[in-house]
Amino acid sequence: MADAIETLRTSIKALVESKKYSTIRDILHTMNAPDIASLLQEDMPEEILPLLFRLLPKDLAADTFVEMDSDTQQLLIRGFSDRELKEVVDELYVDDAVDLVEEMPANVVKRILQQADSEKRAMINNILKYPESSAGSIMTTEFVELHPNMTAASSIEDIRKSGIEKETINNCYVTDASRKLIGMVTIRRLIMADPATRIEDIMDDNLISVTTMEDQELVAQQFSKYNLIAMPVVDGEGRLVGIVTVDDVLDVMEEETTEDIEKMAAIIPDGSSLPYLKTSVLTIWKSRIPWLLLLMISATFTGMIITGFESALAKYVILTAYIPMLMDTGGNSGSQASVTIIRGISLGEIEFADIVRVIWKEARVAVMCGATLAVCNFLKLLVFDKLSVIVALTICLTLVVTILCAKLVGCTLPLLASKLGFDPAVMASPFITTIVDAISLLVYFRFAMILLGL
């Protein structure tokens, strides 16, 4: 795919040079907006970009514009005449227009809003007032609204008249005189129904809805739980103010998952949804350095523990050789547990109330893992490393206890974090590793003191 686009890009550049614009137009007309966007925005000389964009028919131009990254959008807008800008803005869905406005610098925003008609401008401003990551911020205010005493036939007539402007007409929402949401009817049901049937007799009044201030992550969970393709958004009084559509939810799911994965790897999400290759080195540094610093400082404790046992280590230098193995195995065991629990929490499968069941399950898994590893390791230490039984025993007992502690710390910390209102994802491997390192060293030296008489 990527290679095909590469080849096409070369052809287009050659066609531009020989001024074969109608050929280019014919090629572009056969393509989808996302593909045209990636064709135009990468490795294409800036000066020919507006020229190529003007070859697109109006609706394809708007769809392509939406798919472009914000740098390219800005470049195009700067090149647009007011009339051209208005043509693109007119074709944009409200929620896409909001996304655009949120990413442009103030002077560009001003030009965009000037070109939007007053109704669209009001809608954009309305959505902009909701906090980032709220249901309100990802909804669209274009939807089909029906009333309970309309008939199926008059509803379809209504949709025919107005629906062309709406982002989705698959679900039509029914409101009462005070605009309160009272039901939903699918376009399928409208078509199937006897034309004279009243909406209130075929509508589904058992609706899943969210309020404007709800977290977008919860909205995504509801889509997946209830198999939705759209979801109504209501204000504090239950009045319908917008709908969230499934295509935006797919984006939210990707974004939230990326954030979770980054947090698990001790990265602070930078809030932008820029792809890696477009993110500046400084931004990457800023998102990575805080945790590295914090974790480096907390690793001081492990250093202090070792220093405390310096004289013992000097007597049994061989013990030092197994510190990395013990620490790594502890870290890996802990992160297996924490990552499993964090994912369970974010899928809504596990909650704080399950803590006893989780601990009991992890304890059994830990004993089984610990026993397996200890037996294998014990044999290896005796046969290959030729250690004495007592030293091998010290190492293997430490291994069992370390794994048990690691699994228990790994499973309880994310649950505690969720209970206290923190993001459980932060309690993943790097954080757990630091704690488990200290525990494993303390256990190690304790066993060494007892068994080796240090």
Q: Which of residues 26-65 bind its own copies (CB under 8 A)?
A: 30-32, 34
Whole-number Å distance between alpha carbons of 112 and 248? 22
The token pair that represents 20 in the structure block:
């074969």
Site pattern 424..443 for its own copies (x: CB under 8 A): -----xx--xx--x---x--
Q: Smallest distance, Å, CB 52 to its own copies?
A: 18
Instruction: Give the residues across from 211 on adjacent strands.
Output: 234
DSSP 8-state secondary structure symbol assigned to residue 347? T
Q: In this structure, which amino acid lies at residue 94?
A: V
Instruction: Give the residues across from 348 on adjacent strands.
Output: none
40 three-class SS: helix
243 three-class SS: strand
Q: Smallest distance, Å, CB 331 to its own copies?
A: 7
Q: Smallest distance, Å, CB 186 to its own copies?
A: 9
- Contacting its own copies within 100-159 (CB under 8 A): 156, 159
- Contacting its own copies within 266-305 (CB under 8 A): 266-267, 275-277, 281-282, 284-285, 288-289, 291-293, 295-297, 299-300, 302-304
Whole-number Å distance between alpha carbons of 39 and 44? 8
Q: Closer CB to its own copies, residue 233 or residue 345?
A: 345
**272 near 279, Cβ under 8 Å?**
yes
Q: Closer CB to its own copies, residue 137 or residue 434?
A: 434
Q: Smallest distance, Å, CB 438 to its own copies?
A: 9
Helices within 182-277 (DSSP H only): 187-192, 199-202, 216-226, 246-264
SS3 letters for 328-385?
HHHHHHHHHHHHHHHHHHHCCCCCHHHHHHHHHHHHHHHHHHHHHHHHHHHHHHHHCC
Q: Closer CB to its own copies, residue 74 or residue 287?
A: 287
Segment near its own copies (CB under 8 A); pick from 16-24, 98-106, 124-132, 312-320: 312-320
Q: Smallest distance, Å, CB 237 to its own copies?
A: 22
Tell me the number of residues near its own copies by CB under 8 A: 112
Segment near its own copies (CB under 8 A); pick from 43-51, 82-90, 321-329, 413-421: 321-329
- Contacting its own copies within 234-273 (CB under 8 A): 246-247, 249-251, 253-254, 257-258, 260-262, 264-267
For residue 382, give every residue at least 6 positions away whose Cβ sits within 8 Å of its Cβ, in sequence order, or none.
389, 392
For helices 70-79 and 94-103, the axis angle rounded to 10 degrees is 90
Q: Closer CB to its own copies, residue 88 or residue 395?
A: 395
Q: What proportions of the chain, in percent to the nearest 5, are helix, strand and coil? A: 70, 5, 20
Contact between 81 and its own copies per CB under 8 A: no
Q: Smallest distance, Å, CB 104 to its own copies?
A: 21
Whole-number Å distance between alpha carbons of 429 and 334? 7
Q: Closer CB to its own copies, residue 169 or residue 448?
A: 169
